[in-house]
Structure formats: structure tokens, C-alpha cells
Amino acid sequence: MGLEISDVSLHYGRKQILKHINLQVAAGEILTLFGPSGVGKTTILKLIAGMQPLQSGALDFRGDFSQERTILVLQDFWLFPHMTVFENIAFGLKVRHVNTTQIAQQVQAMITILKLQGLADHFPDQLSGGQQQRVALARAIVLKPKLLLLDEPFASLDSSLRQKMHQLLLELQQQYHFGVILVTHDRDEAFELSDRLAVLIDGEIQQIGTPQTIYEQPQTRQVAAFIGGMNFLAGIIQGQQFQFESQEITVVNPNQLTGPVQLVIPYEVAASLSHSGIQAEIVSLQWQPSGVLAHLRVGQQTLVLTNIQGELHPGEVVYLQFGANLQVVAN
């Protein structure tokens, strides 16, 4: 059960939008397409939904997945302005010629679940942003989709509302067990909601993995730079041994790189004080809600870390051990 996308490419004239995209989504999984704007994330959703013809490659819907049971929710909701909330939610059932009593029942159930009571006769322009978002979700979920395609669904909401909507989406997903492909360029949203994350840059999938893997072991410098909040430590790699600033540590080297490389150390990776590891001098400390932000000096290079366990003092020289396997990427 699920959807397999294999070797999908797309051109607009001479411009290549998508390059050999391979993806799988399983039932009940949330897969996030994460990347800067204009890299073809929305285009992938449109291809899957059948809104745009496939130029090359294949979509393979398996088990009870199908294009008919795949619903695309576009950015900005696009609630039909001439229909009430009730009519909007009922739209998909109506075009399927479901009988009126059943429509009324199912729409009423959606209204209750999405807390839209009392708004059934309102028109979209009388709703708040959060309410509009919930109607858009209700309109899709009432059709019992197997796969929900969400294009930047929470981009227009303020951050506290966004948090609530994330929670609601996870609840709905638990209850109705649909797969989700979510498009976003918001890092926190991607990390919070995804089972797996596909980083899309320049029409190409750079890396697919769990949010933790992507954060701690980005495959390429591009991925690391796009995720942001990363230190890059220049040095030389030989096998697993990374030499930098007359120090040497053991790192992960999945791409079998040799010679000059960059060690990636995320700002928020867990670090602890020890008797061995990377030797660094604490330059300054700054309090933040998420932890103390430490600026450190490693030889000629600098590091920023926010998640160091232990007592820190400016000017002190410490040895740092990291809670994750650090990885090198090509320059």
C-alpha cells in the first residue's frame, strides 16, 4: 500500500524543473518535501494529483491508493467564495452524487471534529484564517482520502495558530490514517510533522531521511546550508579520521571522501564536556530561551553551539563530545 514515484522528470521548454525524482509514501506516513521556493515542490504535488501531465517517469499507486483517493489542498485554501462552509465541505460528496442525507451526516461529523460548529451557514470571507484552514482540511478529509497532498498549508497562519494546526493535523492523521505529502519551506514545521523528510534543491532530491538524520547528518553542504544553523569546520579527511587545527577526531564518512572537507556540526546538537574530543576555547556566552548560546574558538575557526551540558565560563578551554555521529561533506 502506498505510492511510488519513480524517475519523474519535468521540463518547461528548455528549463528542467524536476530531475529524476524517486519517492515512496506508505499508508499513514507523513513525508515532507522540504526545500527553497521555486524548486518544483508544488509541481510534484500537481503531478501526483493528476493536475499536470507526466512527461517522463511513473506514478505507481498500490493497494487502495489511487489518484481518485488522492486529494490536493493548495496553498491559500481556495475555499469557494460563493458557497457556505457546509456547501464547501459537501462539494466533493455532491459531485460524487452521494445522497443528501448521507452528505448532511458526513459534513456534520466533519464540522464537529474540526470544531466548526455554528459556522455551517457562514461564507468563507466571514471566517478567520484558522477557520478557513479547518474548512479546507474538512473539505478534503470528508472524502476519506488515502493520500493528502498539502501545499504550504500553514504558511499564512501566525505561529501559535500554526502549532495548533500541526497538532490537529497529527490527530486527524491518526484518526483517519491517511498518508500525507507535505510541502513546506519552514524548517520547524518540517521537523515537527515529518516521519521522513525529502530535501529538494534545484529540482533534485538531495537527501531523504528522518528529521533527526537530516539534521545531524546532512549529505551535502547544500542540504546543510539550506537547513541552516550549521557550523562548518574545515579539515582533511582520511578514512574515518578528520584532521583539523592540529587536532584529530573520528567521524562518519559515508561518501568515502578524501582530502579537504567540511565537518558539519549543527548548532543544536547535544554536546557535553569531557576529557577528550574537540578542544575549544569559550569566547562568549549568551542566554536564550532554548539554552545558552556559546561562541567557541577552535584554532582559527569558530563554532556556535546551543546545547552544551555542564557549567561554562568564558575564556575556559574545554573538550567537547557530541551526542550524534558527526559527518563530513565535500567542500
Partner 1 sequence: MKRTSTLLLACFLVALPLVVLLLWTVATQWLYPALVPQQFGGKVLGQMLQEPNFWPAVLNSFVIALATTVVTLLIAMPAAKVLATQHFMSQRLLTFMIYLPFILPAIAIVTSTQMLFIQWHLTGTFTGIILSHTYFTLPYAMQIILESYRKMGQGYALTAKSLGAKPWQILRTITWPLMAPGIATAAGLTFIVSLSQYLPTFFIGGGKIMTLPLILLPYANNGRFGLASAYSVVFLLVTMIGVLLLKQLIGGWHHGLRN
Least distance from C-beta 33 to partner 1, angstroms? 17
Segment interacting with partner 1 (CB under 8 A) among 45-53, 214-222, 274-282, 297-305: 45-53
Q: Would you say 61 or 91 has its CB closer to partner 1? A: 91
- Which of 140, 227, 278, 329 binds partner 1 (CB under 8 A)? It is 140
227 sits in which H/E element: helix 221-227
Query: In angstroms, what CA-CA distances link 259 with 213, 235, 238, 256, 327?
Result: 24, 8, 7, 10, 14
Task: Pick out residues in 220-239 that bind partner 1 (CB under 8 A).
Answer: none
Is 158 a residue that touches partner 1 (CB under 8 A)?
no
Q: Is 81 exposed, middle or buried (0-12, 13-18, 19+ CB in 10 A)?
A: exposed
The radius of gyration of the chain from alpha carbons, rounded to an integer in Å, stands at 24
Does the footprint of partner 1 cover residue 185 (CB under 8 A)? no
Q: Which is nearer to partner 1, 74 or 236 (CB)?
A: 74
Smallest gap from Cβ 12 to partner 1, in A, equals 7
C-alpha to C-alpha distance for 5 and 203, rounded to whole angstroms: 15
Q: Which of 1, 36, 38, 51 binds partner 1 (CB under 8 A)?
A: 51
Q: Which helix (H) or strand (E) holds 164?
A: helix 159-176
Torsions phi, psi for 284 (to 5 deg): -155, 160
Q: What's the rounded Cα separation, in Å, for the pair 309 and 328?
A: 24
68 binds partner 1 (CB under 8 A): yes
CB of residue 171 vs partner 1: minimum separation in angstroms? 22
Sole binder of partner 1 in the list 71, 169, 172, 269 (CB under 8 A)? 71
Alpha carbon distance 259, 67 (integer Å): 48
Select from 59, 143, 168, 252 the one that contacts partner 1 (CB under 8 A): 143
Q: Which of 11, 62, 96, 115 binds partner 1 (CB under 8 A)?
A: 96
CA-CA-CA-CA torsion sign (118, 124, 130, 133):
positive
DSSP E strands: which ranges in 119-240?
147-151, 179-184, 196-201, 204-209, 230-238
Q: Which of 53, 81, 228, 315 binds partner 1 (CB under 8 A)?
A: 81
Cell numbers of 268, please?
Answer: 543544536
The reply to whether 17 sits near partner 1 by the rule CB under 8 A is no
Binds partner 1 by CB under 8 A, chosen from 14, 82, 275, 313: 82
Give the C-alpha separation, 18 to 205, whole Å: 9
Whole-angstrom distance, CA of residue 188 vs CA of residue 55: 33
**Cα–Cα distance measured from residue 289 to residue 58, given in angstroms and rounded to the nearest whole number:** 47
149 or 205, CB closer to partner 1? 149
Q: Does 84 bind partner 1 (CB under 8 A)?
A: yes
**Residue closer to partner 1, measured from CB, 78 or 167:** 78
For partner 1, the closer of residues 111 and 214 by Cβ is 111
Considering the rule CB under 8 A, would residue 12 count as an interface residue with partner 1? Answer: yes
> Which residues of this protein are in contact with partner 1, per CB under 8 A?
12, 46, 49, 51, 68, 71-74, 76, 78, 80-84, 87, 91-92, 95-96, 123, 125, 139-140, 143
